[in-house]
A and B are shown apart, each in its own frame.
Chain A
Amino acid sequence: MDLRFFEIYRRSDYLLLLLEGAALSAALTITAALTGMALALALSGARYARLSVLRHVAAAYVEFIRNTPLIVQLFFVAFGLPTLLGYQWPFWAHALLALTLNFSAYFSEILRSGYATVGTGQTEAAAALGLKPRQTFFKIVLPQAVAKTYPSLVSQFIFLFLTTGVIAEIGVNDLTQAGKFIDSRTFRSFEVFFTLTLIYILMSLSFKGGLAVLQRRLFRWQVAR
C-alpha cells in the first residue's frame, strides 16, 4: 500500500480540471437551489389552493420526488423526456432541470412547516389593516417562514449538494466527472476520490459559511435581540 497523492497534485492540468469541475458543481447547485426555491414556493402555495385537484397534484408530486432516487429522476429528465418530446439540450441543462425538480420538493416541505409557525395573530392583524391575502402572504407570512426555517433550508441545501455528483452520470463535467477522468488516467482511485471527498466537504463548509453571513444580512431583525 502506497499513497501517491503527488501524482495528482503536481499536475496543474488535473488541478485546473478539479477547479473547473468544482466551479460547475457549485454553479449548478446554487442555480438549482434558486430555481428550486421558486418552484417550491409555487408547490407549497398549491397545497393551499382552493382547487382541490391542484392541492392533490402538488402533494403527489412532492411525495413522488421524495420517495424516488435522484438518479432515476435525472435519467428520466436527461434521456426519457428528450426522446418523448423530441428536444435536445446540453447535459448541464438536463442536470439543472432534474436538480430543480428534486430540490423543490424538499424545500416546499420545509416552507410549509414554516408557514405553520407564523401565528394567526399575524395574519389577522394584516387582514385587519386591509391587506389582501396575497399581500399578507408575501409581506408577512413568507418572510417570517423563511427566516424561521432558514437553518433547515441551509442543511437541506448542503445535503442536496452532496448528492449532485450523480450528474456526472449523464456527462456533465462537474467535480465528480473531473475525478473520474483523472482516475481513468492515473489509476490512483483512492487518492483521487479521497481528494474529491475533501473538496466536497470544503465546499459544504464554504456554503455553510456564506449562508450564515447571508442570514445575518437578511434577517437582521432576528439576530437583533
Chain B
Amino acid sequence: MKDLLTGLLGAPEGVVLYQLLFATQFTIYLSAIAFAGGGTVGALVTLLRIAPARSARSLATAYIWFFQSAPLLMLLFLFGLGVPRLLGVNVNVWLAASAALTLYTSAYLAEVWRSAVQSIPTGQWEGAEALGLRFWQTLRLVVLPQAVRVSLAPTVGFLVQIIKGTSLAYIIGFSDLMSVGKRWANAPVEGTEPFIIYPLMALIYFALCFPLSRLSLGLEKRLGTVRKTPPIAA
C-alpha cells in the first residue's frame, strides 16, 4: 500500500498520503470506542432518566445537562491533564480520550433516546398497564421497539459528531489523522504545505462523515425522527 502510493504519487506525496490514511484507523477506533462506551453509558442514563424513582430521574437529568453543557475540549483537558495531575498517576491517552468522548457521547445519546421514549404517546403506557404489564415489561415490549425506530436517525447522525470530535484528541497527545496531518503541515517539506494537507485531511474526514450523514437522512425519511433533536455541530 505504501509502495503503491509512493509509486503512484512519488515522495513525499505518496508517503504523506499513506501516513494520513494509516493514522485514520486510529480516528476510526477512537470513534468506535466512544460510540460503544457512550451508547452503553447513555442507555443506562436513559433508563435512569425514565425510571419511576424520582431521585434517579433527577440524577440522570443533572448528568445529561452537565455533559451536554460542558465543552468537549474541556472534558479532554480534564481527563488528559486534570485527572492525571490531580491523582498523581499516568493516564494512558487512549483511556483519557475515550473517557472524555464517552461522557460527551453518552449525554447526547441519553437525551435523544429519552425524547424518543417520551415521544411515545402515554396512551401506549396506559394501554399496556391496563393489560397488566409492569413498567419494565411495558418499556421492553411496547415502548422501546417504537422508540428505537425514531431514534435511529439522530443516533447515526451523532456518529458524525463523534468522528469530528475525535479531531480534538490530538490536543492531549492522541495520535490520529489530525495529529499526523498537523505534523506534516508544519514540516518544511515541499508538497506538504498547510493548504495541501488540511484540505486533504478534510477530504478524509468528509469521506468518513458524509456517508453517515446521508444514512442518517435516509433513516429519518424512512423511519422518522424524534421531534426535537438537540443541535449538532463541532
Contact flag (A, B; Cβ within 8 A): yes
Q: List 25 A-B contacts (CB under 8 A).
A: A68-B202, A68-B205, A69-B165, A70-B234, A71-B167, A79-B195, A79-B198, A80-B193, A80-B196, A106-B233, A159-B231, A162-B69, A163-B72, A163-B234, A165-B74, A166-B168, A187-B85, A189-B84, A190-B78, A193-B74, A197-B70, A200-B70, A200-B74, A201-B66, A201-B69
- Report B's interface with A, CB cutoff 8 A: 66, 69-75, 77-78, 81-88, 160, 164-165, 167-168, 171, 178, 181-182, 185, 193-199, 201-202, 205-206, 209-210, 213, 230-234
- Roughly how many angstroms separate A186 CA and B157 CA in the complex, as a whole number? 40
- With known contacts A73-B202, A189-B77, A67–B168 Cβ distance under 8 A: no
Tell me which of A75, A189, A201 contacts B194 (CB under 8 A): A75
| 10 smallest beta-carbon distances between A and B, as pairs | A190-B82, A80-B195, A69-B167, A189-B81, A79-B194, A76-B198, A67-B209, A190-B86, A84-B195, A193-B77
Report whether A188 and B164 are in contact in the complex, using a CB–CB cutoff of 8 Å: no
Interface of B is mostly: helix
Q: Is A152 an interface residue (CB 8 A)?
A: yes
Report whether A189 and B71 are in contact in the complex, using a CB–CB cutoff of 8 Å: no
- Roughly how many angstroms separate A169 CA and B186 CA in the complex, as a whole number? 14
Report whether B74 and A196 are in contact in the complex, using a CB–CB cutoff of 8 Å: yes
- Residues on B with beta carbons closer than 8 Å to the beta carbon of A176: 73-74
- With known contacts A75-B194, A76-B202, A67–B233 Cβ distance under 8 A: no
A69-B165, A79-B198, A165-B71 are known contacts; what are 11 more A-B pairs with Cβ within 8 Å?
A63-B210, A67-B164, A67-B209, A68-B209, A73-B202, A83-B194, A163-B234, A165-B73, A165-B74, A179-B77, A201-B66
Tell me which of B82, B231, B232 contacts A194 (CB under 8 A): B82
- Residues on A with beta carbons closer than 8 Å to the beta carbon of B205: 67-69, 72
- Roughly how many angstroms separate A132 CA and B213 CA in the complex, as a whole number? 37
Residue of A nearest to B210 (CB): A67
Residue of B nearest to A161 (CB): B71
Tell me which of A75, A169, A197 contacts B185 (CB under 8 A): A75
Nearest Cβ in chain A — how far from B7, in angstroms? Answer: 27
- Residues on A with beta carbons closer than 8 Å to the beta carbon of B66: 201
- Residues on A with beta carbons closer than 8 Å to the beta carbon of B198: 72, 75-76, 79-80
Total A-B pairs, Cβ < 8 A: 143
- Residues on A with beta carbons closer than 8 Å to the beta carbon of B233: 70, 102, 106, 156, 159-160, 163
Q: Is A123 an interface residue (CB 8 A)?
A: no
Report whether B74 and A1 are in contact in the complex, using a CB–CB cutoff of 8 Å: no
Tell me which of B69, B213, B230 contacts A67 (CB under 8 A): B213
Report whether B71 and A72 are in contact in the complex, using a CB–CB cutoff of 8 Å: no
- Roughly how many angstroms separate A2 CA and B153 CA in the complex, as a whole number? 44
Residue of B nearest to A162 (CB): B71
Interface centre among A68, A163, A169, A192 (most CB of B within 10 A): A68
Report whether A67 and B160 are in contact in the complex, using a CB–CB cutoff of 8 Å: yes
- Residues on A with beta carbons closer than 8 Å to the beta carbon of B206: 64, 67-68
Q: Is A204 an interface residue (CB 8 A)?
A: yes
Nearest Cβ in chain A — how far from B127, in angstroms? Answer: 32
Q: Is A183 an interface residue (CB 8 A)?
A: yes
Nearest Cβ in chain A — how far from B65, in angstroms? Answer: 9
- Residues on A with beta carbons closer than 8 Å to the beta carbon of B194: 75-76, 79-80, 83
Nearest Cβ in chain A — how far from B184, in angstroms? Answer: 12
